[in-house]
Amino acid sequence: MAMTTRPATILVVDDDYGIREVLSEVLNDEGYQVVTAADGEEALRYLQCVSSLPCVILLDLMMPVMTGWEFRLAQQQDPRLAPIPVVALSARTSITHATYEVAVDAFIQKPVDLERLLALLEGYCG
């Protein structure tokens, strides 16, 4: 009997509903399981109560309630969540230097280059 492996989970954190939906659809089509959150606070609540952590987090930086920077700082302070790689997403080009301050693993400018994103995700999620 063949063992079935669960698809890798990706957490998409973005306050823009349309972006969450498009990324979810594309990533689902690629075989990933996708969980979405509208802001950093919602993402943290999800991560703190789930038993199986995502292989990567796609994180918008500019969000209400809890920004990407605030989320990342909280994530880094939690030993269980800190190892999860984070790919920052932002429409602002001037933001790249600030992403290094929160130690993200990669930065992708919006609109998202899907081929580049999928190549990155393959590296994080196998």
- What confidence category does residue 1 fall into, taking pLDDT thresholds of 50, 70 and 90? very low
Q: Which domains occur in the chain, in start order? A: 9-125 (3.40.50.2300)
HSE, CB side, 13 Å, CA atoms: give it for residue 22: 12
Asked whether residue 98 carries a pLDDT value surpassing 90, the answer given is: no
Say if residues 11 and 43 touch (Cβ distance below 8 Å). Answer: yes
Asked whether residue 118 carries a pLDDT value surpassing 90, the answer given is: yes
> Residue written as tokens 């080009």?
93
- What confidence category does residue 94 fall into, taking pLDDT thresholds of 50, 70 and 90? low
Return the bridge partners of 36, or none. Answer: 12
pTM: 0.89
pLDDT per position as a tens digit, 38-93:
999 999 999 999 999 999 999 988 888 888 889 999 999 999 999 999 998 877 76
pLDDT per position as a tens digit, 99-114:
455 678 888 888 888 9
